[in-house]
Amino acid sequence: MIFIPFETFTKGVGGPSTFMRNLREYLINKEFSFVEDIEKKDISDSIFFPISFNERILKYYKKNKKPIIQRLDGIYYPSKHGFKYRYLNREIKKDYFKYSDFIIFQSKFSRLECFTIMGKIPEEKYSIILNGADKSVFKPSLKTFSKDKIIFAATGSFRNKDMVLPVIKALDEIAKSYQIEYRVIGPVTSDEVIKILERPYVKLRGKKDKHELGDELSEADILIHCQLNPACPNSVIEAISCGIPVVGFDTGAMKEVMYFAPELLAYVSDDVFQIDKDFKHERLLEKLNLCISDYDIYKDLFLKHSGLYDFNDTCEEYIKIFNKVVNN
């Protein structure tokens, strides 16, 4: 039976917390046995955690030859975090090399990030499992599109200006030709971001649970995703599940997830770790206009691919890893 410290990792608002909450729900519904009380770790035969975990506990598992499985998405890198990136990655890297017996990367880009900053590991020591969406919540939307009023949406936790500034600059131009609404769905945690969003066409929808989020997405025409170097963007995966066209930047794992519509992603740079100054709103504007002009084509394309990225399949892949690592 595997120990998974859910309590430690389900209190935040970011991608890892969302994943861990959803994984816990799935495992309970699946009646998959696990331990989540740290005081009961002695009855477990392995441990799984995202990012990094308590070294004292990991030493216990290592000493007792109980497999350690680490999930990694993005890490800290110099172009964004400066010289302190080494310090910020210190615990993650220690777990990665010293303790973990197996690594699960969220995407090929996630693997590239970690290999570039922390070093490579043997192929038999890792697997790549993309995130998934709850298909009972994120369902294909058949909303009728009209250029009389275009509803754009963005979902996530909005904490940095690079997540909204290029979008607002591009939508300011779109608003000269169309009546639009830009729905920002999720917490806005920065005063700087709130100020940037002060536009008559912007609607702040606040934090939503996943059922409310599914309802919000069903009313949108186009999702705009603007995030620097995302390891595996849940917002995009959820929009694809709803059959909603996505426009964004070619950064991180975006092209990997949107392999069937790469032309809707604006060029940034050829660097592994891109920087926000290369998020040119003019390039984003070009992709938004492409999506609007050929909307019916892209709507059909995204509906065709709405069956991709099922969270049930994601969890089953995790369960296979849990069982495989323990039995090796």
Express as a percent the part of the chain with pLDDT over 70: 99
Q: How far apart are the C-alpha atoms of 2 and 109, rounded to whole Å?
A: 28
- State the residue range of the domain holding 113: 2-132+310-327
The answer on 315 and 269 residing in a single domain is no
For residue 103, pLDDT over 80 is answered with: yes
Domain count along the chain: 2
The answer on 41 and 100 residing in a single domain is yes
For residue 13, pLDDT over 70 is answered with: no
The single-letter code of the amino acid at 262 is P
For residue 238, pLDDT over 80 is answered with: yes
Which pLDDT band, with edges at 50, 70 and 90, does 75 fall under?
Answer: confident
Tell me, yes or no, whether 27 lies in a domain. yes
Q: Which residues neighbour 325 within 8 Å (Cβ) at sequence distance 6 or greater?
A: 46, 67, 69, 101, 102
The answer on 275 and 240 residing in a single domain is yes
The answer on 238 and 121 residing in a single domain is no
Q: How far is CA 253 from CA 30, 85, 152, 187, 265, in A?
A: 29, 21, 22, 23, 11
CATH code for the domain in which residue 183 is found: 3.40.50.2000
Stretch 296-321: mean pLDDT, rounded? Answer: 97
**Mean per-residue pLDDT over the chain, rounded:** 94
Q: What would the pLDDT profile of 136-169 be if each residue is shown by its tens digit?
A: 999 999 899 999 999 999 999 999 999 999 999 9
The answer on 202 and 103 residing in a single domain is no
For residue 14, pLDDT over 70 is answered with: no
Tell me, yes or no, whether 56 lies in a domain. yes
pLDDT value at position 12?
63
Tell me, yes or no, whether 137 lies in a domain. no
In this structure, what token pair is assigned to residue 74?
């993005």
* Residue listed under structure tokens 């206009």: 289
Q: How far apart are the C-alpha atoms of 298 and 205, rounded to whole Å?
A: 26
Q: How far apart are the C-alpha atoms of 170 and 55, rounded to whole Å?
A: 46
The answer on 155 and 300 residing in a single domain is yes
Q: Which residues neighbour 158 within 8 Å (Cβ) at sequence distance 6 or greater?
A: 164, 184, 186, 187, 188, 189, 190, 193
The answer on 159 and 44 residing in a single domain is no
Q: How many angstroms separate the first and last alpha carbons of the chain? A: 15
Q: What would the pLDDT profile of 216-237 be if each residue is shown by its tens digit?
A: 999 999 999 999 999 999 999 9
pLDDT value at position 73?
82
In this structure, what token pair is assigned to residue 142?
């058949």
pLDDT value at position 79?
78
Which pLDDT band, with edges at 50, 70 and 90, does 76 fall under?
Answer: confident
The answer on 180 and 280 residing in a single domain is yes
For residue 50, pLDDT over 90 is answered with: yes
Q: What would the pLDDT profile of 61-72 be if each residue is shown by its tens digit?
A: 999 999 999 999
